[in-house]
C-alpha cells in the first residue's frame, strides 16, 4: 500500500500548527490510514521536535496505534476470561477459517484484520466482538456468521 508522503505532511503540519502533541499527531495519522506508516513517525518527530525514539515509544506503547497496515474492518474478539468461557475461542476459530488468516493478520485485500483483545470491560455481555468501534455482545457462532456475511456482502464479495 503506497501512501503519499504529502498527505502525511499535511496531517502532521496541521497538528504542529495547532501546537498538538506527538500523540495527537499520531492519532490523526492512525485515524486516516488505520496504521502508522514509518514516514509518519519520521515526519512527526522532525516537525514536532521530538526524538524519533520517543515517537516510536509512543507508537508501540498504546494499543490504539499500529505499525502494521490494518484492514478496512478490524474485528476484535475478546479473549478475557468471561468471554473465553462463553465461547470466544470458537468465534475466533470460525473467523480465522472464514477469512483464512490468523489473529493478528490482515487479509491480502486489506479488507479484514482479526485481533484478539483482553477484557473490554463489558463481561456481562460476553462474548464480545468489536468491528471497528462497534460492539456486539452475546455473540454466538450464528450471529458471528451473519455479521461476517453482512460485511462481505457490503463489499460486494459474495
Residues that bind ligand FES (CB under 6 A): 78, 80-83, 119-123, 126, 128
Three-state secondary-structure class, residue 67? coil
Q: How far apart are CA 6 and CA 119, in angstroms?
A: 38
Residue 109 CB, shortest distance to ligand FES, in Å, is 29
Residue 30 CB, shortest distance to ligand FES, in Å, is 23
Minimal CB distance residue for ligand FES: 80
**Pairing assessment for the beta strands 73-78 and 129-131 based on DSSP bridges:** antiparallel
Residue 119 CB, shortest distance to ligand FES, in Å, is 3
**Pairing assessment for the beta strands 112-117 and 73-78 based on DSSP bridges:** parallel
Residue 35 CB, shortest distance to ligand FES, in Å, is 25
Three-state secondary-structure class, residue 74? strand
Residue nearer to ligand FES on the CB measure, 81 or 132 = 81
Q: How many Cα neighbours within 13 Å face the side chain of 123?
A: 8
Residue nearer to ligand FES on the CB measure, 22 or 75 = 75
DSSP state of 110: S
Residue nearer to ligand FES on the CB measure, 49 or 121 = 121
**Helical segments of 100-140, H only:** none
Residue 77 CB, shortest distance to ligand FES, in Å, is 9
Residue nearer to ligand FES on the CB measure, 23 or 122 = 122
Indicate the angle between helix axes 52-61 and 22-33, nearest 10 degrees.
60
Residue nearer to ligand FES on the CB measure, 71 or 126 = 126
Amino acid at each position: 500500500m503506497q501512501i503519499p508522503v504529502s498527505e502525511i505532511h499535511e496531517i502532521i503540519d496541521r497538528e504542529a500548527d495547532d501546537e498538538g502533541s506527538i500523540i495527537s499527531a499520531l492519532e490523526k495519522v492512525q485515524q486516516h490510514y488505520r496504521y502508522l506508516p514509518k514516514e509518519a513517525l519520521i515526519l512527526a518527530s522532525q516537525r514536532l521536535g521530538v526524538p524519533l525514539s520517543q515517537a516510536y515509544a509512543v507508537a508501540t506503547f498504546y494499543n490504539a496505534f499500529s505499525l502494521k497496515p490494518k484492514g478496512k474492518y478490524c474485528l476484535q474478539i475478546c479473549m478475557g476470561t468471561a468471554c473465553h468461557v462463553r465461547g470466544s475461542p470458537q468465534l475466533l476459530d470460525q473467523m480465522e477459517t472464514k477469512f483464512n488468516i490468523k489473529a493478528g493478520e490482515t487479509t491480502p485485500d486489506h479488507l479484514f484484520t482479526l485481533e484478539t483483545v483482553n477484557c473490554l470491560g463489558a463481561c456481562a455481555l460476553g462474548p464480545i466482538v468489536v468491528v471497528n468501534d462497534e460492539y456486539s455482545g452475546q455473540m454466538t457462532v450464528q450471529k458471528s456468521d451473519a455479521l461476517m456475511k453482512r460485511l462481505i456482502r457490503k463489499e460486494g464479495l459474495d
